[in-house]
Amino acid sequence: MSDLVEATGLNSASMYKEFGNKEGLFENALLDYQKTRLEPYIQILLDRPGMQGIEAFLNAAVSRAESGDYQGCLMLNTLAEEHSVSKAAIRRVENFCVKLKEALAGAIAGAQKEGTVPAGKDAAVLADFIICLMHGMVLYGRVDSHKPRIAAVVAAVKGALIA
Amino acid sequence: MSDLVEATGLNSASMYKEFGNKEGLFENALLDYQKTRLEPYIQILLDRPGMQGIEAFLNAAVSRAESGDYQGCLMLNTLAEEHSVSKAAIRRVENFCVKLKEALAGAIAGAQKEGTVPAGKDAAVLADFIICLMHGMVLYGRVDSHKPRIAAVVAAVKGALIA
DNA sequence: CTAAAATTAAAACGATCGTTTTATTATTTA
DNA sequence: TAAATAATAAAACGATCGTTTTAATTTTAG
């Protein structure tokens, strides 16, 4: 909170009046982050539910992670530090993951209708696989710069989809 | 520290005498965890550097994660909560990941000599891919029970290896 | 312009945390 | 057994943290 007071120039009393407490403020920030930063990526999948949308989604996520000012994903960092955030914040992460998984599974199902993904595959399993890899990139990416790894991982995702 | 005093029945002064401070104690615990809990899995890869060893490694990791008393991996949870542990602890995680990656890449190279993995693949990239997925399972597994997912992810790993 | 409401700065609060100290008790060593 | 060493319980420390209060200042409304 003292960091926020310093960084925002706001008064602590003002923030407590607006958000109730530290947890409320964080939950509010996390929701805003989801709506403004993350849901546009989901929208790509909803707008183009097929292989084209999936590729656009992956490319957008990758170029985001590769951009110079990328500081990490607030949503997944919240999950990583699960035990020091509120239950409501974790529920928000879960809610987001479900949303993403549904959008991805829908796009994969669309790709199956197009014929770009084999019909025999389970779209939900593939979606989980992709999300699992994205989580892995967040966590394993902390070990050292994951930038050289991203391309290989994306290639693996596409390979898993079409193989 | 107060939790440890309660849980161990030891005196705080004794712990400070033995380990210096909280960080030192944690680093010691993490090293012990690596040596006793994690390195046996690496040893599987070193003992049998081929597809057989890789499968044994994956099966061991999976059955560990699926066992009822599994509480999560201290090594990867340390990475997840990066900002609240010491730099030395993070260095330990990095050191471990490098060790694991080398063992995995060596086993994959062995599998390539056997012919069970296509010779054209980059063993280091495949190793990174597997480790990335394991990290993902740790993090994404927090969203809800990942047990139903594990089998699918392992299948994806094997598919990526032999495809 | 004046009164009410909101915002601010700054201090203070109680709680917790990592750590140290003190005095006592148990263990080892010679 | 006596002396030295180690371990213990318990209190106390300074620092930090989330939060509230107080009093002054600014903004808004009538």
- How would residue B73 be classed by pLDDT, with cut points 50, 70 and 90? very high
Question: Is B1 domain-assigned?
Answer: no
Which residues of B in 24-63 have their CB below 7 Å from strand D's atoms?
none
> pLDDT, tens digit, for every residue of B22-45?
999 999 999 999 999 999 999 999
Position B40 in a domain: yes
Range of the domain at B101: 31-162
Give strand letter and number of the nucleotide nearest A22 (CA to C1'): D18
- Three-state SS string over A119-159 comes to CCCCHHHHHHHHHHHHHHHHHHCCCCCCHHHHHHHHHHHHH
Distance B25 CA to C26 C1' (A): 25
Whether residue B133 lies within 8 A of chain A, CB to CB, comes out as yes
User: Which residues have a Cβ under 8 Å from the Cβ of B137 and sit 6 or more positions away?
Assistant: A132, A135, A136, B65, B146, B149, B150, B153
Mean pLDDT of chain A: 92
Please state whether strand D lies within 7 Å of residue B7 at its CB atom.
no
Please state the rounded mean pLDDT for residues B100-113.
97
**Does residue B24 belong to any structural domain of this protein?**
no
Q: Does residue B150 sit within a domain?
A: yes
Residue B19 lies in a domain: no
How many CB contacts within 8 angstroms connect chain A with chain B?
A: 100
Partner A contacted by B131 (CB < 8 A): yes
Summarize pLDDT for A103-153 with one digit per residue, the tens: 999 999 999 999 999 999 999 989 999 999 999 998 998 887 666 677 777
- The answer to the question of residue A21 being in a domain is no
Ordered DSSP codes for A97-110: HHHHHHHHHHHHHH
Number of domains in chain B: 1
Nucleotides of C under 7 A from a protein CB: 7-11, 17-22
- Residue A25 covered by a domain: no
> What CATH number should be reported for the domain holding residue A85?
1.10.357.10
**Is residue B108 situated within a structural domain?**
yes
Q: Using 50, 70 and 90 to split pLDDT, how confident is the model at B148?
A: low
